[in-house]
Amino acid sequence: MTAWAAEATDRLLSTGEAVITTSRGTVEARLERPRRRGRTALRTWSRGDNGTARSAGGTLSHSDGDGQRDEILWSLRWALLDLVEG
């Protein structure tokens, strides 16, 4: 699970979007970068194999670097755990 989240984090940071597909469902994520000043937002959507759908989002505390990467990784891990717990 950590490897999936790490791979998706790398994709998010390079392209702004990522999808993780597992046997338990799918997590989609998008980074919304500010056009001017402001903070980057992370939005996630998940659809479980049992029909549940969830979404989450908010601004990131870190504007770049390892702090931002860790924050994204943490959020994606929670989204994946949420799928497993269904």
pLDDT in tens, 41-78: 999 999 999 999 999 999 999 888 899 999 999 999 99
Question: Which structural domain range is residue 22 located in?
Answer: 2-85
How much is the pLDDT for 77? 96
Burial 44-73 (b: 16+ CB within 10 A, else e): bbbebeeeeeeeeeeebeeeeeeebbebbb
**Which percentage of the chain shows pLDDT scores above 90?**
79
How much is the pLDDT for 46? 96
For the beta sheet containing 25-32, the strands, ordered from the edge strand earlier in sequence to the opposite edge, are 17-22, 25-32, 41-48, 53-59
How much is the pLDDT for 34? 84
Q: What domain count does the chain have?
A: 1
- Cα(62)–Cα(66) distance, integer angstroms: 9
- Average predicted confidence (pLDDT) for the chain: 93
pTM: 0.90
Q: How far is CA 1 from CA 51, 77, 83, in A?
A: 21, 7, 11
